[in-house]
Amino acid sequence: MKLVVDKDIPYFDTFIKDIDYYPSFEILKYKDSEFSSTILKDADALFIRSTTTIKDDSLEDSNIRFIASATSGYNHICKSVLEWNCNEKKCFIASGCNSFAVVNYILSCVGYLIAQNKFSKSNSVGIIGFGSIGTLLAETLDNLAIKNFFFDPYVLNSLNPKKKKSLEDILDCDLVTIHASYSRDGDYPSHRLLGKHNLLNASLKTLINSSRGEIIDEKFISEQNYFDYIADVWIDEPDCDEKLVEKALLSTPHIAGYSNQAKHQGTKSVICEFAKFFGFKNNLLEREKNIKFVKNEKLFEEDFKVNNFPCKFMKSLFDIETCSNEFKNSFLMRKMSFDMLRESFNFVDDFSCYKLNKSSKNDNNLLKKFLPMEKIN
């Protein structure tokens, strides 16, 4: 069996060996720039990232029966292939694999804003899009006792009191963060969802976009001075608008989903689905979780008492201010390529893998509720 694999899918070589049939696999690694129908000759399965575009004719004259994307998005795959879902052909997207990583990014932003006196515990957070990331963010904010609301037109007949009736309502929250999928058509297209038409008279103080650059009107954002803008995604990546990169309060090179845990989960899930589709026995589900322990619980608890938020802990996981400064300097001043800066980013450990030491006598319920690993025996 021949597998064609993006060479930059992390941990692939580690997880594929957990399949019993592994010794018989022929694995061909490729670079994005080398992808073509030629390398798919005689291949049975294709493993890609969001940087590989699959069009209607990409798989012509190939024997590919299984295609998997080790990332949570799907805009890089044409509709006809996305609809593969039968015994003969399967398309699998690692949806939600980066949810904790993106929430980790948002919490790092919140910690920075609190340190800059731009956000407080009494402020509210508005979430646009209530999918896997939006719901996890809301749950985490609840655990931190931070008031939050959401707007998602696809969430119908919800009795959730936190659901706002309109987009305009959610834009009156102090901090608004975008987690909507991108679309140009359908019942609720999100292309340029936010712009002068609804932001000019909104009350928000900060807007965070870690979803898609095309969801907002970048020209308006770069010219307005009503609220702060934090961005991880940009229109026309890798050729981003330099003016907006410079103007944004914090700018990062599309790395919000880059954590060790997200990459582990993404790769593990696509290989699990591959094994399931072809009926291969494997030991993937037997792998133990990589658990880390909070090193300084006293400092962690004091941070909660002073800031009502784990500012220092989140900064220790991901220093978003330093990341932004380095990106702006490298991209704007040194003219380094966006793709190079993105690829050179070192994966972080997100908060999902941390728990208190077994010997801990800490009885801070807020702290325990915040760490997901504390809920696992």
User: pLDDT value at position 34?
Assistant: 87
Residue ranges of domains in the chain, CATH in brackets:
2-93+259-286 (3.40.50.720), 97-258+291-377 (3.40.50.720)
User: pLDDT value at position 299?
Assistant: 80
Residues of the chain with pLDDT under 70: 287-288, 358-366, 375-377
Give how far the C-alpha of residue 147 lies from the chain's centroid of Cα atoms, to the nearest Å: 22
Q: What is the pLDDT of residues 103-130, one digit of tens each?
A: 999 999 999 999 999 999 899 999 999 9
User: pLDDT value at position 53?
Assistant: 92
Whole-angstrom Cα distance, residue 196 to residue 219?
Answer: 9
Sheet holding 26-30, edge to edge: 26-30, 2-6, 45-48, 66-69, 90-93
Q: What is the pLDDT of residues 316-362, one digit of tens each?
A: 999 999 999 999 999 999 999 999 999 899 999 999 998 887 655 55
| 146 HSE (CA, 13 A, CB side) | 29
User: pLDDT value at position 185?
Assistant: 87
Distances (CA, A) of 183 to 78, 180, 186: 13, 9, 7
Whole-angstrom Cα distance, residue 236 to residue 349?
Answer: 29
Hey, how many other C-beta atoms are within 10 angstroms of the C-beta on 274?
23
User: pLDDT value at position 377?
Assistant: 47
Whole-angstrom Cα distance, residue 257 to residue 306?
Answer: 29
Percent pLDDT > 90 in the chain is 74
| Start-to-end C-alpha separation, the chain | 40
Q: Of the candidates 120, 4, 136, 146, which has an alpha carbon nearest to the alpha carbon of residue 62?
A: 4
